[in-house]
Amino acid sequence: MERVINVKVAAKMAGITAHTVRGWERRYGAVSPSRTPTGRRTYTSEDIQRLRLLGQLVKRGHQISFIATLPNADLEKLWRQEDESAFQPTHKKKELSSEVDTMITEMMVALSRFDLDRLSDLILRTRVTIPTRTMVLEVFGSMMAQVGRRVMAEEMTVAQEHAFSAIVRDHLGQVLQSLKSKSKEGKCLLFATTEGDLHEFGILLSAILAAGYGHEVRYLGPNMPANDLGHAASMLNADVVILGTVPLSKDLLKISVAQYVSALHEQLPRDTEIWVGGDLCNQALTATVDRTVKAVPRLNKVDELFKDLRDNTEAA
């Protein structure tokens, strides 16, 4: 007969508190323990394994409300998926691309029906089944562009675009958080967009790639004044400052990219490099500054640079 394990012991074995176990059970249905005739909870070894996995994933930055009801097998996959091996291109390309296409189609259908819960579930499933790097390079960029095109063609509304952005933002934030908790040895990289620009997916996806290569990621987010970014880079002793750009009207963007890079240059430590991504990246090259400035138009290019940076750090 299996030994009766009460909530205190189960929590201890899972590495969380008994209070947390009860809360996760009550609020999110994370586990369903049996009860003794006197009403006390009893846990099986499978429950404890589940609680341990949930605890570890929450420590990595996942929100319990998103993952509480996933089956154990999916929790395990999610855990493995976010290991660094998820960044190695070991998958079978053909199989994966049809899987990616199916996922994208299903997500677009959910969004067009305004079924936001299903959309969020599908994104979570993508995180579980598709390697993180593939997800970044092949899923989200192309989905955002599709949503943009559909809004332009009036097949989708601005409300759908905003809801989609908000849900994707939430998920990608969790992915970044979970990778960041493991990456500490690489270079220190700062991510931001220029002042007035709220489009953060380019830098967020880049930050996930960087964290996957073990770099120390400091994600400062969008709409950053040049002086403040320079100040942050000095305080954090950043090796590289990475900027995202989108062509927007003059009333939104306060200054040109070249002016922004010049202002930033004034504030940065001598050896800090500036990499500029997105559609305006080439404008950065026209700034007359005596430091390394790179124009990185696409995510796959920045991915290569992060890898080289990691390899050079390891070789040094």
- Give the interface size with ligand B12 as a residue count (CB under 6 A): 33
Q: How far apart are CA 285 and CA 266, in angstroms?
A: 16
User: 224 has which bridge partners?
Assistant: 194
Using CB under 6 A as the binding rule, the residues of this chain from 57 to 116 that contact ligand B12 are none
Query: For ligand B12, what does the binding mask look like between residues 247 and 286, x meaning CB under 6 A?
Result: xx---x------------------------xxx-------
Residue 224 has which token pair?
A: 């950053």
Q: How far apart (Å, rounded) are the C-alpha atoms in residues 291 and 284?
A: 12
| By CB under 6 A, residue 199 contacts ligand B12 | yes
Q: What are phi and psi of 224, to 5 degrees?
A: -110, 120
Coil, helix or strand at residue 194: strand
Please pick, from the candidates 104, 111, 147, 264, the single residue that binds ligand B12 as defined by CB under 6 A: 147
* Residue 184 to residue 213: CA distance in whole angstroms: 10
Q: Is 152 in the site for ligand B12 (CB under 6 A)?
A: yes
Our finding on whether 202 is near ligand B12 (CB under 6 A) is yes
Q: Does 165 interact with ligand B12 (rule: CB under 6 A)?
A: yes
* Closer by beta carbon to ligand B12, 160 or else 183: 160
Q: Decide if residue 169 touches ligand B12 (CB under 6 A).
A: yes
End-to-end CA distance of the chain: 57
Residue 145 interacts with ligand B12 (CB under 6 A): yes or no: yes
- The distance of closest approach from Cβ of residue 116 to ligand B12 in the complex, given in angstroms and rounded to an integer, is 16
Which of 174, 96, 80 is CA-nearest to residue 135?
96
Type of residue found at 100: V
Which positions touch ligand B12 (CB under 6 A)? 141, 144-145, 147-148, 152, 161-162, 165, 169, 196-203, 205-206, 242, 244, 246-248, 252, 277-279, 296, 298-299, 302
